[in-house]
Amino acid sequence: MATIYHNLSDYDINSVPDASNMRFGIVVSEWNSNITGALLQGAIATLKKHGAKEENMIVQTVPGSFELTYGSAQMIKSGKVDAVIALGCVVRGDTPHFDYVCAGATQGIAYLNATTDVPVIYGLITTNNMEQAEERSGGKLGNKGDECAITAIKMIDFVCRLKK
């Protein structure tokens, strides 16, 4: 469903498992830090709201969104996380650079999801302008960081249920 029809911060609180024993890695792009910082704040607040402990969260930055795949892969290799949340923001410019960065990051995260046992949550905002990014990072359309936190909790729970 398109974000314009769904607030990113709206969800059924009763559908979210307890996160108190879950471990989270969060990889955040430094590029467009005004946006990615707000996404990070949303993700952390939502994780805590559902019981996640601060000592069970590892937050690391990477220079840009293209590096989210590498950062996420290193989080997985550390063995210290049950899920990784990859947060970034790419705003369309005048050159095709936008297309390459978005495609590379998307394909990289999809590859990690297909080839590892740790879910990597796609928190890359790709917008036509900064206003759209602001709307999706705590503005009128909610915060993609909230949505990613809920997705991470649910995916860890999914994996745990399969192992029973």
CATH number at residue 83: 3.40.50.960
Q: How far apart are CA 111 and CA 90, in angstroms?
A: 20
SS3 content of the chain, % helix, strand, coil (to 5): 50, 20, 25
Q: How far apart are CA 82 and CA 20, in angstroms?
A: 12
DSSP-H helix ranges across the chain = 33-49, 68-78, 97-115, 130-135, 144-163
Q: End-to-end distance of the chain based on CA atoms, in angstroms?
A: 32
Catalytic residues: 97
CA distance to 4, 13, 19, per residue, from 71 (Å): 30, 30, 23
Angle at CA 29, nearest 5°, toward 23 and 33? 115
108-129 pLDDT, tens digit per residue, is 999 999 999 999 999 999 999 9
Q: How far apart are CA 13 and CA 10, in angstroms?
A: 9
In a domain, 11, yes or no: no
pLDDT bucket at 14, cuts 50 / 70 / 90: confident
In a domain, 67, yes or no: yes
The answer to whether 124 and 106 are in contact (CB under 8 A) is yes
List the beta bridge partners of residue 45: none
Q: Exposed e or buried b for every residue in 144-158, given b needs 16+ CB within 10 A? A: bbbbbbbbbbbbbbe
What local confidence, expressed as pLDDT, does residue 10 receive?
73
42-90 pLDDT, tens digit per residue, is 999 999 999 999 999 999 999 999 999 999 999 999 999 999 999 999 9
In a domain, 143, yes or no: yes
In a domain, 86, yes or no: yes
Domain limits for position 159: 21-163
Domain count along the chain:
1
pTM for the model stands at 0.94
